Amino acid sequence: MTPTDDSFDLSLAAASLRSNSSDVQMLLRALNLELEDTLGAQLRVEHAGGRLRKSNLISSVRMSIGGDEFEAKIEGSHLRCVIGHVSGGIRIRTESVDMDQWLVRLLGALQREAVHNESARVALENIVIGGQQ
């Protein structure tokens, strides 16, 4: 079974990813690490701190995959997750979801992208089943 098979269980993969990264900082760092090469400019990471004092702590992550924008923003100890749908460069729908649903839909978008993008396939495999950096 590979991440591009229909039998691939995205809910199980999201649960595994979440359990391996129980801390939201660790989860966002892991996603950033795996997706920065694949998504390039489509991945935007903001760090805590101001313009003069940057921190290693991530405050938000936003990524565009296909026609969807996935945003996760740390608010205190809570992770606020939003998925927006974009058409013609205009966001036409925004939906707040819980972290599990956000991860499942993010992995689903990566799975669709992996069909025609080798680096997306490798990133998805690394996220879900582990792999070499």
On whether residue 5 sits in a domain, the answer given is no
Average pLDDT, the chain: 78
* Structure tokens given for 129: 């089943």
Q: What is the pTM of this model?
A: 0.76
Q: Give φ, ψ of 22 to 5 degrees.
A: -65, -30
Q: List CB contacts of 104: < 8 A, sequence separation 6 or more.
A: 10, 11, 13, 14
**Mind listing the pLDDT tens digit for each residue in 65-98?**
988 999 999 888 788 999 999 888 888 999 999 9
On whether residue 1 sits in a domain, the answer given is no
On whether residue 2 sits in a domain, the answer given is no
On whether residue 38 sits in a domain, the answer given is yes
On whether residue 19 sits in a domain, the answer given is yes
On whether residue 3 sits in a domain, the answer given is no
On whether residue 133 sits in a domain, the answer given is no
On whether residue 124 sits in a domain, the answer given is yes
Whether the per-residue pLDDT at 37 is higher than 80: the answer is yes
Give the full edge-to-edge strand order of the sheet including 43-49. 43-49, 54-65, 68-75, 78-87, 90-97
**CA–CA gap between residue 112 and residue 89 (Å, rounded):** 20
* Domains held by the chain: number: 1
Helix 118-129 vs helix 10-20: crossing angle, to nearest 10: 60
Whether the per-residue pLDDT at 100 is higher than 50: the answer is yes
Provide the pLDDT for residue 68.
93
Domain extent, residue 41, equals 10-128
